[in-house]
Structure 1
């Protein structure tokens, strides 16, 4: 009975951590124009605030399992909450974009550890047959975060200041940290294996260089030669990591993972499809506020149909995949996601509100279907020791794609803003239109990757954290 109570408390603690992370990932987007005005920056060049957070998460995920074995899940979970809260405080007191970006990196370190360490703590506390049910409970707050994040962010910006979107994390973090120390069991530690530091540095540098090369085209103002050098160094670093992993007895991610066709196709599809679709939570609130005259709270509320339709669609995904198979669902749905994104190129002031709500809800539905199908096809054939490694690799790819997607969208938007005469909302709206069309086409192209799946694949895997 004591173990059962202890495990139930563990689930609540991990659920709070998940909620903090997912709320913060969505609450910032609506506040970007207000942040830009306060810091004296252009609202169209604020993507580094989002990129810094998601890229830091992508970098830390490969090391999270080793850190949990080395320091213990409870100690690391408390440290994650503390870093997340400290980063939130630094964000709130930032007086320049540079300070804010550095603070987001600190916050991202905490956020990066909350998800995988919490998942690992649950994995070690619950027997295999109860793990899926336990993770489903923990993932529920992860669905609520994106639902209330944009609206809460808009409301706080309009009726208080943007600083409060970070300050609200402090009491939650304090309660979570104290509760973790008092209630979370230390749990079993895995054997501390040798950490592949050289491989980790190559992989991390490759991810950072690729994201900076995209962000450098717009916000950082880097010259094209610098961007090209970063791009080449980033790709070379990733290739070097792959060659290193084939010779390493204990690499971060075993090359044997890529002997599984569904995982290889799923990971590549995740990367390229998300580079397109991950920009939408960043672009839509910007479009509504910068070019359509919406207030922050109105822009935040307009994101509600996206989240609500996404939650409803998750219940239909399994049936649809069982009926049609992964390949048909993913090829068709990827095309729908790309075309729906491109349809935002038709947005104009004066259109009826119901049309905008239907458009946003449809995007939320197909995007949620995409995430569920992509994640489950990636993990469905993994078993044994490869399951944990494959799940971490998928989480890293998701965060990397989010970082690269927002950076790419910022670069494309900056390019089109420079092309169209930047002299008023009409011209800015044209730049947004062209950006949505371009990012939609990029997503559409990833349908070719999913076409390589076996047409007979129908068994649905389990990914309780597919809200990312």
Structure 2
């Protein structure tokens, strides 16, 4: 087996292992907050900073990940990111007070921010476009099942062990990921790396961090409307200032002109809109299961498992589906199917048979897996390899922001329907959740319009739908040509 084939065989496992650890950790802490509060002698609400600090660190550090990979090499940065994440996990588990825990989570978020974009850059540079879909399809699975398994794994660990083991389980996984990266990760770097756009990092980092924080706290109604409007305005001004700065800067932090690449623009913007609906589900489903149906936390977590199983099953057929129908048809139809599936949760109530809930969960995982595999791969269909680092950084930044928007949207929509009714009123809360599911379903279906502007031949070089591309090209060629 050649060195190239050897790398292609194991590289997806390297990236998937690190990505799973990062995605799992983004949600596993939520179920442990009450136990952590008792252990540290603080109120559960005061530990919200433990969650938000991780998200803020991600938002600020992701934009600089592409520059670091070009400057220091993908292998060195990826291995360092895993090492930082693992060391930070140990510090989290050893924390004796809230400030120490928050500081460790900030460090952990910095390490996580380097993993996903740099791993994606390496995948893009290693695999030719004809093989990219299969590789991306494999790597995306951890991103889908990590957030779903997080609450379940976290709840079981807290129940049987202690909250500190939530962080310590990252140690063996991190060590394994470091060894895999050292053994199989190729080292790509730019021979003439661009200088770091410090001013751009300050403007964009401050703007995106403030916006992410606002979405976290505003989604829980912990800030008055006047203060929120003022802070949103400040965040908007910072991001607008970055936009103006990027137009003049020769080497901007994020090169926004990449949005002129049509398939990249449609993928990133369409994905952002789609995640507004899908992103609210990790917040809404536990509420529906635990408060609406009265299930214990561990049963609620188990009901999230079918989605993970279906997501893994889809990876075996998504390549063939895209090859048969093409990106345009798949993304338009599949986005609508996701919206319809989300709307089905509006019919789930206390008397709903368990097999019905499991069936809906399976459908959701199945369609979500196809959706994210499609969006993440077509983003790079027409991007030049020299722009892969920048494209991956921009896409990762938008994905992180869309997740925050989605969670906030789910919380705000539910709160709006609930009104002044106390959350202890199970009947009214369930009704509010049903309306929230219908609203998010409608937003998801509307977002399918973003993919209508794709052409039949778009992504043919990735999906292998050569017949579609050839037929379209021949139809567009004048007879005399």
More displaced, 79-88 or 30-39?
30-39
Query: Matched residues in 1 for 2:64 and 2:70: separation?
Result: 10
Q: Deviations over 1:419-465 (max 9, x none)?
A: 32334333333343333233333323312222233355462637xxx
Counterpart in the other structure of 1:109: 110
Classify 1:135/1:377 alpha carbon distance in 2 versus 1 (closer, same or farther; 3 Å): closer
Describe the shift of the 1:128–1:451 C-alpha distance in structure 2 as closer, same or farther (beyond 3 A).
closer
TM-score, normalised relative to structure 1: 0.82
Q: Would you say 1:306 and 2:312 are equivalent positions? A: no
Q: If the length of structure 2 is used for normalisation, what is the TM-score?
A: 0.80
User: What is residue 448 of structure 2 aligned with on the other side?
Assistant: 447
- In 2, Cα distance between the equivalents of 1:128 and 1:458? 13
In the other structure, the counterpart of 2:478 is none
Question: How much does 1:90 deviate?
Answer: 4.7
Query: Following the alignment from structure 1 to structure 2, what is the Cα–Cα distance between the partners of residues 299 and 229?
Result: 38
Matches within 5 A, 1:7-22: 14-22=15-23
User: How many angstroms does 1:402 deviate by?
Assistant: 0.9
Distance of aligned partners of 1:316 and 1:49 in 2 relative to their CA distance in 1, 3 Å threshold: farther
Aligned partner of 2:283 in structure 1 is: 282
Say yes or no: does 1:203 pair with 2:204.
yes
Q: Counterparts of 2:96 and 2:215 in 1: how far apart (Å)?
A: 25
85-94 or 111-120, larger mean C-alpha shift: 85-94
Partners of 1:67 and 1:233 in 2: CA distance: 28
Structure 1 residues 203-249: Cα deviation after superposition (integer angstroms, max 9, x where no partner): 22232233333334243622211111222222232232222222221
**Unmatched tracts of structure 1, length 5 or more:** 463-468
| 1:99-132 deviation line (CA, Å, top 9, x unaligned) | 76654333211111122334456677x5858984
Matches within 5 A, 1:130-169: 132=132, 145=146, 148-169=149-170
How far apart in 1 are the matches of 2:266 and 2:130?
Answer: 29
Total equivalences in the alignment: 459
Distance in 1 of aligned mates of 2:218 and 2:141: 38
Work out the CA distance in 2 between the residues paired with 1:37 and 1:182. 40
8 Å CA contact retained: 2:137, 2:373: no
Q: What is the deviation of 1:156? A: 1.6
Moved more, 18-27 or 359-368: 18-27
Query: How far does the alpha carbon of each residue in 1:365-423 deviate from its partner, in whole angstroms, 9 at most, with x for none?
Result: 22222212222332222223223322221122111111221133233344444432334
- Is the contact between residue 196 and residue 252 of structure 1 (CA under 8 Å) also seen in structure 2? yes
Across the aligned residues of Structure 1 and Structure 2, the Cα RMSD in angstroms comes to 3.7
- Classify 1:92/1:418 alpha carbon distance in 2 versus 1 (closer, same or farther; 3 Å): farther
Unaligned runs of 5+ in 2: 464-481
Conserved? CA contact 1:150–1:301, under 8 Å: no
The answer to whether the 8 Å contact 1:151/1:300 transfers is: yes
Moved more, 286-295 or 263-272: 286-295
189-198 or 148-157, which deviates more: 148-157
Aligned equivalents of 2:78, 2:253: Cα separation in 1 = 21
The aligned residue for residue 62 of structure 1 is 63
Q: Is the 8 A contact 1:30 1:300 kept in 2?
A: no
Deviation at 1:265, TM superposition (A): 1.8
Deviation at 1:307, TM superposition (A): 1.1
